[in-house]
Structure 1
Amino acid sequence: MKHWIPTLLAILLAGCAGPDVQQYRAATPVLDPADYFEGITDAWGMFQKRDGEVTKRFHVEITGSRHQDTLTLDEHFRYDDGTTQQRVWRLVRDDDKNGEQHWRGTAGDVKGEAQGTAAGNALRWQYTLLLPVDGTTYEMQFDDWMFLIDRCTMVNRASMRKFGIEFGQVTLMFRRRACNP
């Protein structure tokens, strides 16, 4: 009976594996987050439960600025229920390796440091968000995938997990202001 346990474990772990950002290395246009987010960007998005039900919609105004080696993203959220939120990211680009850009970042409601890797038109961004719900704060692991569609438009899909179980997804569409494709 014990002989099938390693096989089952290998199958389960393989099911958790996702795409590698390297597979997008040749995709264009090439995404450089510092270039894309400099200035003002609008985003529209929604939260979905794991069954697909949309539970919240929102608009984000993002002001991006560079100071030496730091990209600051000042995000202002307005949700469909009228509530608002602000998140300020501080991102730093690490050394490039194998055609990839490596990023790390912090924000007030992010536990520890976020890690990101960009290649071609894609950016994979992973972090733990401290998510307040009804007086309790949950540590949710986010796995964001951003894809540059053209120099003005980007699409983002994020998976929210806790204990390896997906609780929902966030989908966003970004559009740079004053941009012509």
Structure 2
Amino acid sequence: MALLTRRMVWLKGVVFASFIGLLGCSSPTVSEYADNSPDFALSQFFSGHLTAHGILKNRSGKVIRYFDADLHGQWQDGVGTLKEDFVFDDDEKQHRTWTMTPDEHGQYIATANDVIGHGVIRQAGNALFMQYVLRVPYDGDTLDVSVDDRMYRVNDRVVINESVLSKFGFDVGYLTLVIEKVVDPE
């Protein structure tokens, strides 16, 4: 009986340690950035002309694609539209138009032509997080992947975006993107 009791205590210790370990692996929430600046005012940053430059990595971390994009944002009555035109290193072109509508919780609901359902934009301090399902072209067909976008405003003109793409709960790709506001010469 003493052996059984020791094994139970040991097992409970292992389960508790595993639980604590999992808590340590949880990803940060957007609220953890609430005190960071500059403030990520969505309608202010995604307004006017912007450019973007990025890389796409496969699940092993190897860069498999490069791209540039022109973006144009405008806002009317609190609702934003962001048009994105991508050109990849193999000359493939993609177009996406986001519509960002405020909700009653102080967040934004984001929809786009190749997004299944919608994303919820959460913002605090200099950070903006959004999760959604994106339909992407793949091998002559399409593939629906979950996207976890994490954007961080670095200064008045630059945002860095890191995205994890997953399918069936497994990471299948990583995207890193630098977005810069185009300042018109005066």
**Residue 38 of structure 1: which of 24, 47, 62 is its match?**
47
| Deviation of the 1:9 alpha carbon | 8.0
**Equivalent position SS for 1:35:** helix
**Residue 26 of structure 1: which of 25, 35, 42 is its match?**
35
Aligned pair 1:110/2:119, yes or no?
A: no
In the alignment of these two chains, the number of paired residues is 176
**Equivalent position SS for 2:28:** coil
Which position in structure 1 is the counterpart of 2:3?
none
Separation in structure 2 between the aligned mates of residue 80 and residue 74 of structure 1, nearest angstrom: 20
Shift in alpha-carbon separation, 1:116–1:13, aligned structure 2, 3 A: farther
Alignment of 1:43-54 (within 5 A): 43-54=52-63
| Deviation of the 1:138 alpha carbon | 1.5
Separation in structure 1 between the aligned mates of residue 39 and residue 58 of structure 2, nearest angstrom: 31
Aligned pair 1:173/2:182, yes or no?
A: no
Q: Normalising by structure 2, report the TM-score.
A: 0.86
Cα shift readout 1:51-102 (whole Å, capped 9, x = no counterpart): 2110000001000011223100010001111111110000012245xxxx51
Separation in structure 1 between the aligned mates of residue 40 and residue 25 of structure 2, nearest angstrom: 26
How much is the aligned-residue C-alpha RMSD, in angstroms?
Answer: 2.3
**Equivalent position SS for 2:154:** strand
Shift in alpha-carbon separation, 1:86–1:16, aligned structure 2, 3 A: farther
Which position in structure 1 is the counterpart of 2:94?
85
Alignment of 1:60-79 (within 5 A): 60-79=69-88
Q: Normalising by structure 1, report the TM-score.
A: 0.88
Aligned pair 1:143/2:171, yes or no?
A: no
**Equivalent position SS for 1:150:** coil
Percent pairwise identity? 31
Separation in structure 2 between the aligned mates of residue 11 and residue 115 of structure 1, nearest angstrom: 29
Cα shift readout 1:119-149 (whole Å, capped 9, x = no counterpart): 0000001100011201232111100000000
| Deviation of the 1:16 alpha carbon | 6.3
Separation in structure 1 between the aligned mates of residue 39 and residue 154 of structure 2, nearest angstrom: 10
Structure 2: give runs of 5+ residues left out of the alignment.
Answer: 1-6
Q: Which amino acid aligns with 2:58?
A: K
| Deviation of the 1:37 alpha carbon | 0.9
Shift in alpha-carbon separation, 1:84–1:161, aligned structure 2, 3 A: same
| Deviation of the 1:8 alpha carbon | 9.0
Kindly name which structure, 1 or 2, has the bigger radius of gyration based on alpha carbons. 2
